[in-house]
Structure 1
Amino acid sequence: MTVTPLSRHAQLRAALKREGARWGTFVLALLGAAGVVQYYRPPATIGLAPFAAAKRTALPRAEPALNAFGKSGAVQMRFALPGEAVHYPLQVRENPSELLYAWVRLTDGTSADSARALTGAPRAPQEPGFYQLALEKGGLRRVLRGVTVAVLIPFDEKRGSDIEGYRIGTFLAERLGSGEKEHPAGFVKITESDAQLPITKHLRLGDFLTRDGQTQWPRYAAISPLVLDKLELVVASIAELRGGDTRVRVELNVHSAFRTPAYNGYNRFSRDSRHQYGDAIDVAIDANGDGKLSASDTKLVAQAVDRVEQQHPELMGGMGVYTSEKYNQPYVHIDARGKKARWRG
């Protein structure tokens, strides 16, 4: 049998294939204090000049994993208490044991702490604020864009009805003095300039500010990532119902999201309203795309909420449809309380 020698090009391809097999791509899903690692083969870098290839591999090869943006793929902010393990799924295309991580302040790009080994879930900075994750290798740093981490002010720092001079009021759990009722784990500290920061594709931090007439800055809000993901899934479902394409533009107007207990009590809303916990949002959505807000829009929104809860039971919650003429425009209440509830108003 005659064996034909491999061409020089074929030999190069075979060598690159073996090298690619040695280091697969790590998908490091940082969940709590442990990581889950999965491998897949990266594309070969045939055709890169030697110096270009060296430059490409010098920076840490990593990015937020797809599920870092929630089930909807549209959540752009994660939340953690100071020093807490951050749920931040990463896709790392090299040996993660060779990487360090640090936090970079969103405001000015400065480092918030010293670099530490990426041996498990990254720990949040101790100072409340907004940060991006940076990975380092060999003295070079890559800042991961697209996901902002908000470090909360812990609930325990609330003094009486205030937090740092901002009136919050008292939660039902505080008034009852028992563990039967809940309260938020912490609050996002929001300055006037922070209010425009995106938290999802369709929402900004300012959408979660209580509209209670307080004018000082900073202000504070409780925000649940569950309701963020749920709303974005509802918007995507509406787009699919309209034409089977999630790229259809859906317009929405936020009526109310977080409400302080003080504001909630003053207006005689439900004393255990989910808005106080940051996992509820009232929205008017032009669901049918006719440029108007009408009762027919709320029907489509309700259909989308039912679809999302069927597909994602972990996002089960309340839905209230408000179409009475006493409201300026029809809207829908959506929350992620963990159990199904329906009502009309």
Structure 2
Amino acid sequence: MKLSAFLIIVLLTYSNLSQAGHHRSERNSFSVTIHSFSKHSNKDETIPFNTLGISLLPNERFILQVKTNKPSVPVKFQAEQGKTRQLAQQQWQWQAPNKPGLTVLRLIHPISKETTELNVFVMVPASNVKNGMLNGYQIGSYPRLPFKNMTTYETPKGFIEVTEANQDTKVSPHFTIGEFLSHQKGGFPKYLVLRERLLLKLEHIIETLYSKHFPVDSLHIMSGYRTPWYNKSLGQGPYSQHIYGGAADIYIDVNPKDGYMDDLNKDGKRDYQDAKVLIDIIEEMEGQSLYNKFVGGLARYRKTPHHGPFVHIDERGYKARWND
């Protein structure tokens, strides 16, 4: 083999290995903070990632504030629909359209072309639910009073309508809206509740896994949102965080992709101890001050004839721990 050909092969091999072990950053050089007008919302969120799904009611407003390292180079704001009013440099008020549906907001850096894309789901108001049904979809009923009077247990004000057309819409860099749907039977449209803080928590977990040399391309969502009706059919309690859109049952399924937890501790088995590896990493995150706003429930579950081991996470606002 000629030396030049050999060098090309070596360079290509090195490049492929480097790419395989490299985590492409999903962060931009600027962040976006959303300030909600509603006292019942937890939408005062800072978004460091380049994609996020947001849900709000028709005509609801919020303020977007951009923070960048170079204020002299302002980020541009684009809205497909709704009403926009600029309040100051890098600050806008945006009002949602008056009808449910999906629209997109973009914040674009004029030089680097980095873009933060907010996929906004204008919800169907909860007042449209009649006798536990919404447009033929079984919702059920929420508890009359929130648990411990906490906002994370308040009855949702609306529901995201998921259709065949929008089910693959990204709600964060690694997840789509369809991954969080309740597993109950029924065709489209379907409805769910999904909180932004849960999405941010999941993305922070993926970043941490990468930093600990677990090159995951996502997390498998075994169970995301559950309607109160479906949650009750599973024999779960009335205050499950799943019915409020703040919980997910997850596991790592990268190699091979077979719907089962990977062998994370490299002992040749795929079992409950692999769930412990994941739960220990998340527990360590919750001990960090920057992670305080994401504190919530954390538990691991053993395999059954119906599923493999998995980890439950939520962002209820206080620490809760249990095991199956």
The TM-score normalised by the length of structure 1 is: 0.66
Distance 1:204 1:95, change over 3 A: closer
Q: Report which of the two has the higher share of strand.
A: 2
- 1:118 alignment partner, SS class: strand
Distance 1:318 1:83, change over 3 A: same
Superposition pairs of residues 115-264 of structure 1, within 5 angstroms: 116-119=84-87, 120-133=92-105, 146-173=117-144, 182-215=154-187, 217-242=188-213, 248-264=215-231
- 1:69 alignment partner, SS class: strand
- 2:274 alignment partner, SS class: helix
Task: Provide, for residues 25-59 of structure 1, a one-character-per-residue CA deviation record: whole Å limited to 9, x for no partner.
Answer: x98855236xxxxxxxxxxxxxxxxxxxxxxxxxx
1:32 to 24, 36, 39: 36
Distance 1:84 1:235, change over 3 A: same
| 1:334 and 2:313 aligned | yes
| 1:321 and 2:293 aligned | no
Out of 145-154 and 162-171, give the one that drifted further.
145-154
Alpha-carbon distance between aligned partners in 1 of 2:269 and 2:163, rounded to the nearest angstrom = 33
Letter of the 2:130 counterpart: R
Alpha-carbon distance between aligned partners in 1 of 2:251 and 2:31, rounded to the nearest angstrom = 38
Stretches of structure 1 lacking an aligned partner (at least 5 in a row): 1-25, 34-66, 105-111, 136-141
Pairwise CA distance, 1:121: 2.0
Alpha-carbon distance between aligned partners in 1 of 2:283 and 2:63, rounded to the nearest angstrom = 28
Q: 1:304 — aligned with what?
A: 281
Distance 1:340 1:255, change over 3 A: same
Distance 1:189 1:321, change over 3 A: same
Alpha-carbon distance between aligned partners in 2 of 1:170 and 1:213, rounded to the nearest angstrom = 18
Which structure has the larger Rg over C-alpha atoms? 1
| 1:269 and 2:236 aligned | yes
The TM-score normalised by the length of structure 2 is: 0.69
RMSD (Å), alpha carbons: 3.4
Contact 1:68 1:89 in 2 (8 A): no
Alpha-carbon distance between aligned partners in 1 of 2:62 and 2:160, rounded to the nearest angstrom = 15
Stretches of structure 2 lacking an aligned partner (at least 5 in a row): 1-29, 38-44, 108-112, 253-261
Pairwise CA distance, 1:224: 0.8
Name the % identity: 27
Q: 2:257 — aligned with what?
A: none
Out of 252-261 and 116-125, give the one that drifted further.
116-125
Task: Provide, for residues 148-207 of structure 1, a one-character-per-residue CA deviation record: whole Å limited to 9, x for no partner.
Answer: 122122222222201222110111127x9x978521232111101211111122211111
- 2:94 alignment partner, SS class: coil
Pairwise CA distance, 1:76: 2.1
Pairwise CA distance, 1:221: 0.4
Alpha-carbon distance between aligned partners in 2 of 1:134 and 1:146, rounded to the nearest angstrom = 5
Alpha-carbon distance between aligned partners in 1 of 2:99 and 2:216, rounded to the nearest angstrom = 38
Paired residue total: 262
Alpha-carbon distance between aligned partners in 2 of 1:129 and 1:324, rounded to the nearest angstrom = 38
Contact 1:318 1:333 in 2 (8 A): yes
